[in-house]
Structure 1
Amino acid sequence: MSVEGYLKKHAEALVKDVGIEAACALTGKSKATLGRYYSDQDEHGDRFMPVDVVAQLEAAARFPHVTAALADLRGITLSYSPEKRNATSGGVNHDVVTLAQRFAQLMAEYNIAIEDGKISPNEAKRLLRETLSLQEVLLTMKLNLEQGMS
């Protein structure tokens, strides 16, 4: 997938996360305009969501889809978890157990997805969700290990 296509897919995920009606209300943009930002049709290939629109939508979204995509393109790993802002950590031992559980869940989802020999878009979304969950656990573990070194 091209960089452009990758960004458009994440822009679409952002709009769908917020909801099209709510996205229109938040940004003052029409459904058609928002749709053009993530359309893969040739005539909209050079249209991308403006940064201010991304910021407005990500403030209302459950996840910063476009920001995460941009970071991913640069090889940067972000740590994002609104539920854990002031949560206490269970430590490295807890992280290892959680890591094993998340990995097992990822493998279970993969096993189900590959049964018919191909991974459907919905199956890919579930696998991506599990991969992101696994990444969050690894980041928490990394932070706990770094904290233990200081």
Structure 2
Amino acid sequence: MAGFGSYLKKHTEALVKDVGIEPACGLTGKSKATLGRYYSDNPEHADRFMPIDAVVALEKSASFPHVTSALAELQGISLSHDDRRPNAERPGGVNSDVIALSQRFAMLMSEYQQSIEDGVITVNEAKRLLKETSMLQQVLIDMKLHLEEESG
């Protein structure tokens, strides 16, 4: 677990910051100091992790399941998160998916070009690249669903 600790703590911090520290305190019933200890990289807090019930409470309010996706990655599991949750049937089909795929890939490449210009990808640039990658993945999932529908 030693190698995974800092990875999980980084994603725990992202989760708390996604929700906001004050709302996170309210949702979990934990103090700011306690939440901070869950993602602290101080050696004295190395073995302290957020309880799973607190993770669930926060991920319900977060824009992304940060800790759950980190746990899945550590186990070699792929998750699909779709925060769009449409009420109506998805329009279009494979043809519109191919167009969307090429557009998303172009946006990802554009973000990458901007990020790598100075030879260093900053944290904010990495976050934008991650968001574009996730959006590209969602288009692929939509395409897969359309192909499954069309194949019967």
TM-score (normalizing by structure 1): 0.91
The C-alpha deviation readout for 1:81-125, integer Å capped at 9, x for no partner, is 232343422221111111111111111111111111111111111
Question: 2:6 and 2:76 mapped to 1: Cα distance?
Answer: 17
| Alignment length (residue pairs) | 149
Aligned to 1:71, the other structure's residue is in SS state helix
Letter in 2 for 1:88: E
- The one of 96, 102, 105 aligned to 2:104: 102
Question: 2:26 and 2:32 mapped to 1: Cα distance?
Answer: 10
RMSD: 1.4
Letter in 2 for 1:11: T
Instruction: Say if 1:96 and 1:84 are closer, same or farther in 2 by CA, change over 3 A.
Output: farther
TM-score (normalizing by structure 2): 0.90
Unpaired segments of 5 or more residues in structure 1? none
Aligned to 1:142: 144
2:124 matches 1:122: yes
Letter in 2 for 1:117: G
Aligned to 2:17, the other structure's residue is in SS state helix
Question: 1:13 and 1:91 mapped to 2: Cα distance?
Answer: 35
Question: 1:97 and 1:15 mapped to 2: Cα distance?
Answer: 36
Letter in 2 for 1:122: N
Aligned to 2:67: 66
Letter in 2 for 1:31: K
Aligned to 2:33: 32
Unpaired segments of 5 or more residues in structure 2? none
Aligned to 2:24: 23
Question: 2:84 and 2:55 mapped to 1: Cα distance?
Answer: 21
Letter in 2 for 1:123: E
1:62 shift after superposition: 1.5
Aligned to 1:88: 89
Aligned to 1:4: 5
Aligned to 2:46: 45
Aligned to 1:111: 113
Question: 1:130 and 1:107 mapped to 2: Cα distance?
Answer: 9
Question: 1:69 and 1:98 mapped to 2: Cα distance?
Answer: 27
The C-alpha deviation readout for 1:35-73, integer Å capped at 9, x for no partner, is 111112222111111100000001111111111222222
Which deviates more from structure 2 when the two are superposed, residues 17-26 or residues 36-45?
Answer: 36-45
Letter in 1 for 2:101: L
User: What is the percent sequence identity of the aligned residues?
Assistant: 65
Letter in 1 for 2:77: I
